[in-house]
Amino acid sequence: MYCIVVSAFAVLAVASLTTAVAPPASECQTPPVECCTTLAPADTPVVAMVLKGLGITPVHPDELAGLTCNPINGTIGPGGDASCPTNFQPVCCGQITSQPSGIDVDCVVVDPQA
């Protein structure tokens, strides 16, 4: 029982840390900030395989690859009203590909209103 509780808290700690460290969207060096659905590290085997098949080479394989990415609506930054639809995450991606499926890579989750 002790182990289960400790594991659960470890997961929560990681989850909240991830939220806390999301950098401000206003500092994204490679606009536009985008909203993507499925995000997974580009070095996840199945993701790496798909990217390779499409000829996409991430510069930072440890960062995220996103699916169905579209430019965020609204104004990003402090006081802005930018937000992503449910099930989409705001990200800043180093490479925005022109794939029809909206696959972007070198992505990090950002805080759209910061």
Ligand X SMILES: *[C@@H]1O[C@H](CO)[C@@H](O)[C@H](O)[C@H]1NC(C)=O
**Residues interacting with ligand X, by CB under 6 A?**
35, 70, 72-73, 85
Phi-psi region of 39 (alpha: psi -120 to 50; beta: other; left: phi over 0): beta
Q: How far is the CB of 60 from ligand X (least distance, A)?
A: 23
Nearer to ligand X, 47 or 72 (CB): 72
Whether 95 contacts 6, CB under 8 Å: no
Q: How far is the CB of 73 from ligand X (least distance, A)?
A: 4
- H or E segment and range at residue 2: helix 2-20
SS3 assignment, position 111: strand
Q: How far is the CB of 4 from ligand X (least distance, A)?
A: 38
Nearer to ligand X, 38 or 70 (CB): 70
> Which residues share a beta bridge with 107?
64, 93
Nearer to ligand X, 22 or 48 (CB): 22
